[in-house]
């Protein structure tokens, strides 16, 4: 019987449990370009360009069958042509669209008597009931030896063509896109360990240095050109960089799984606040909201924030701290709905990974109820991370003529005032949040959120191991 191996966000041959399981018989490796997915509000041309590169690279390594259309229709056509088939894939923790699509595929498989074998991807536990046991599950999976590439024989099937684009979009202006494919992923990890990551801990927070010292593995991990287990195994061997840098990378690789587990356990986190009372803080934001547009287009008049957004739009990447800041300003200072702002960011991130993205968007917006809200001041962040205003001058050349300190506050040199006063907006946001957090229901509900999603590791400061009473929560303005 033919085994269809459905490649999704696992575009590699190495450490591929589904490919390994199917290898006892003829294999039909399949990639489906799904136009309805690419029409989603969180999808973009830059993500497609990277995906296309990774799929094309995979197609040089095995006779990949590429089809365009609805996954159920594609699978049914293959079943009709080949008779009884078995379906193999990794579990996908995607957005609500892929969740609904997988349910339709499961219904089709049941109706046609097709066995669908799905394997864990990363350290994510499908059907997890007890968060206390997650780290043991993740450790067992991640410490296992990566699965070698199996010997394969392939089923006869016309290969089909990989389309340039599944939608009629023009390029979205991304410059210097990250190279896709397996060799690029391995090159990044090796280069990081060989020396590029030496200043990782010191340089990761500033947008001036982060692009160089961070691993830049994120789009590869999002599409699985490198498995998490492979990345951890390779990082565990160390390199020429300080052990502290390697240890920091390894912690972040674990965070990757920790965050994705949240969305796996609660797919609705894409559209519903983790803490039920935080739903009341949401102000519906239309796509043409003027504040949303100003934030999106880097026109708020807050130079460091604008530079971060312009850099992200142009490159498809932003370091963690700046992602946290742009999200926090959108939610707190501008009062935008986190889902609307989160969709904008998702489209700009080449590395869009729903399982990290939506829990992070909620965390940086105060919607989880278990993380200490951080109301970043975008001017202070700029002065801390770009003291000479060089990043600002790069993305807003019209400010380059100002003395460095004034590049952060051009209104003090007679320039136009920003769309909000950061200090006043932060105070209002704090007052709104404090009112919600004073509700007697806030704390018990926060504890329930922690029970379901919170990290049990004391070293993991992003989730409070013991959420303090709501009124003791502090805000960093």
Ligand X SMILES: Cc1cc2nc3c(=O)[nH]c(=O)nc-3n(C[C@H](O)[C@H](O)[C@H](O)COP(=O)(O)OP(=O)(O)OC[C@H]3O[C@@H](n4cnc5c(N)ncnc54)[C@H](O)[C@@H]3O)c2cc1C
In angstroms, the CA 371 to CA 368 distance is 6
196 interacts with ligand X by CB under 6 A: no
218 interacts with ligand X by CB under 6 A: yes
Q: How far is the CB of 420 from ligand X (least distance, A)?
A: 20
Q: Residues near 141 by Cβ (< 8 Å), separated by ≥ 6?
A: 120, 123, 229
122 interacts with ligand X by CB under 6 A: no
Among 119, 137, 154, 255, indicate the residue that binds ligand X (CB under 6 A). 255
Burial class, 120, CB count within 10 angstroms (exposed 0-12 / middle 13-18 / buried 19+): middle
210 within 8 A of 203, measured Cβ to Cβ: yes
The torsion angle over the Cα atoms of residues 428, 434, 439 and 443, rounded to 10 degrees, is 140
The torsion angle over the Cα atoms of residues 329, 335, 339 and 345, rounded to 10 degrees, is -30
Residue 29 or 123 having the CB closest to ligand X:
123
348 interacts with ligand X by CB under 6 A: no
Nearest to 372 by CA among 467, 451, 256: 467
364 interacts with ligand X by CB under 6 A: yes
296 interacts with ligand X by CB under 6 A: no
Among 214, 235, 344, 392, indicate the residue that binds ligand X (CB under 6 A). 214
105 interacts with ligand X by CB under 6 A: no
Q: How far is the CB of 156 from ligand X (least distance, A)?
A: 38
Residue 352 or 391 having the CB closest to ligand X:
352
Query: First-to-last CA distance in the chain?
Result: 62
52 interacts with ligand X by CB under 6 A: no
Residue 218 or 343 having the CB closest to ligand X:
218
327 interacts with ligand X by CB under 6 A: yes
How does strand 2-7 pair with strand 27-33?
A: parallel
Residue 264 or 351 having the CB closest to ligand X:
351
Among 15, 264, 270, 353, indicate the residue that binds ligand X (CB under 6 A). 353
311 interacts with ligand X by CB under 6 A: no
227 interacts with ligand X by CB under 6 A: no
For residue 336, give Cα distances in angstroms to 340, 367, 436.
Answer: 7, 13, 17
In angstroms, the CA 194 to CA 210 distance is 17
Among 348, 352, 376, 395, indicate the residue that binds ligand X (CB under 6 A). 352
Q: Residues near 278 by Cβ (< 8 Å), separated by ≥ 6?
A: 366, 367, 368, 369, 436
Could you list the residues that contact ligand X (CB under 6 A)? 204, 214-218, 221-222, 249, 252-253, 255-256, 259, 319-320, 323-324, 327, 349, 351-353, 356-357, 360-361, 364
């Amino acid at each position: 019987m033919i085994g269809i191996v459905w490649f999704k966000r696992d575009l590699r041959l190495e450490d591929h449990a589904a490919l390994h399981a199917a290898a006892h018989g003829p294999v039909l490796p399949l990639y489906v370009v799904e136009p309805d997915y690419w029409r989603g509000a969180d999808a973009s041309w830059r993500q497609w360009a990277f995906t296309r590169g990774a799929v094309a690279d995979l197609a040089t390594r095995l006779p990949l069958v590429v089809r365009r259309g609805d996954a159920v229709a594609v699978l049914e056509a293959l079943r009709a042509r080949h008779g009884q088939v078995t379906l193999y894939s990794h579990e996908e923790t995607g957005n609500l669209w892929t969740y609904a699509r997988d349910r339709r595929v499961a219904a089709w498989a049941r109706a046609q008597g097709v066995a669908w074998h799905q394997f864990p991807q990363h350290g994510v536990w499908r059907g997890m009931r007890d968060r206390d046991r997650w780290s043991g599950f993740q450790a067992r999976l991640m410490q296992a030896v990566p699965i070698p590439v199996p010997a394969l024989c392939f089923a006869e099937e016309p290969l089909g063509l990989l389309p340039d684009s599944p939608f009629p979009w023009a390029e979205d202006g991304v410059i210097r896109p990250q190279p896709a494919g397996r060799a690029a992923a391995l090159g990044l990890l090796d280069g990081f360990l060989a020396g590029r990551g030496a200043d990782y801990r010191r340089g990761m927070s500033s947008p001036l240095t982060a692009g160089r010292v961070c691993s830049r593995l994120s789009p590869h991990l999002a599409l699985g050109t490198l498995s998490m287990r492979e990345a951890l195994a390779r990082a565990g061997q160390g390199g020429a960089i300080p052990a502290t840098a390697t240890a920091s990378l390894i912690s972040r690789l674990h965070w990757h799984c920790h965050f994705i587990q949240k969305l796996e356990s609660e797919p609705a986190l894409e559209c519903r606040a983790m803490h039920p009372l935080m739903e009341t803080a949401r102000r519906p934001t239309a796509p043409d909201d003027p504040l949303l547009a100003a934030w999106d287009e880097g026109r708020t008049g807050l130079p460091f924030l604008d530079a971060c957004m312009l850099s992200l739009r142009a490159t498809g990447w932003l370091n963690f701290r700046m992602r946290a800041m742009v999200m926090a300003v959108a939610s707190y200072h501008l009062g935008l709905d986190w889902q609307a702002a989160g969709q904008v960011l998702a489209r700009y991130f080449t590395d869009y990974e729903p399982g990290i993205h939506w829990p992070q968007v909620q965390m940086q917006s105060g919607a989880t109820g278990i993380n200490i809200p951080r109301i970043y001041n975008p001017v202070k962040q700029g002065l801390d991370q770009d003291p000479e205003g060089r990043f600002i001058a790069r993305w807003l050349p019209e400010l380059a003529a100002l003395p460095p300190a004034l590049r952060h506050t051009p209104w003090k040199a007679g320039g136009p005032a920003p769309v909000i006063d950061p200090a006043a907006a932060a105070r209002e946001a704090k007052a709104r949040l404090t009112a919600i957090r004073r509700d007697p229901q806030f704390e018990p509900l926060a504890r329930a959120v922690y029970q379901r999603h919170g990290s049990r590791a004391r070293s993991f400061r992003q989730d409070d191991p013991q959420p303090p009473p709501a009124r003791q929560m502090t805000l960093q303005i």
